[in-house]
């Protein structure tokens, strides 16, 4: 899926994202200096791109919970979106 997806990102993009997020998980705000996963905000399996604008850094726990959920599903599950 990554090869078929639009967009690419570099190690520098990930470093910039880490700095932008202040070294915190995008969901739970836990410190991720020791371990983090690069997550596709809109999953590749649901048409998301592999470009830096579709990436966020999550702690491993949040990344496992998010799995292949769309952003709206994930936000609703975390009490950030009311339908």
Total of domains in the chain: 1
Q: Write out pLDDT tens, residues 37-51.
A: 999 999 999 999 999
For position 57, which CATH number holds? 3.40.1800.10
4 vs 31, which has greater pLDDT? 31
User: Using alpha carbons only, what angle is made at residue 43 by residues 38 and 49, rounded to the nearest 5 degrees?
Assistant: 85
Domain extent for 22? 11-65
Is 82 a domain residue? Answer: no
Query: Is 81 among the domain residues?
Result: no
Q: Collapse the DSSP code of 37 into the 3-class scheme (helix H, G, I; strand E, B; otherwise coil) and give the result.
A: strand
| Strands, E assignment, 1-83 | 37-40, 55-58
pTM for this prediction: 0.89
pLDDT digits (tens, 9 = 90+) for 47-83: 999 999 999 999 999 999 999 999 999 999 988 877 6
């Amino acid at each position: 899926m990554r090869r078929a997806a639009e967009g690419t990102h570099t190690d520098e993009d990930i470093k910039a994202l880490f700095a932008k997020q202040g070294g915190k998980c995008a969901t739970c705000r836990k410190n991720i200096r020791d371990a983090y996963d690069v997550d596709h905000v809109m999953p590749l399996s649901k048409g998301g791109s592999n470009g830096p604008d579709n990436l966020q850094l999550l702690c491993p726990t949040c990344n496992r919970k998010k799995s292949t959920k769309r952003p709206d599903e994930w936000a609703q599950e975390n009490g950030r979106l009311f339908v």
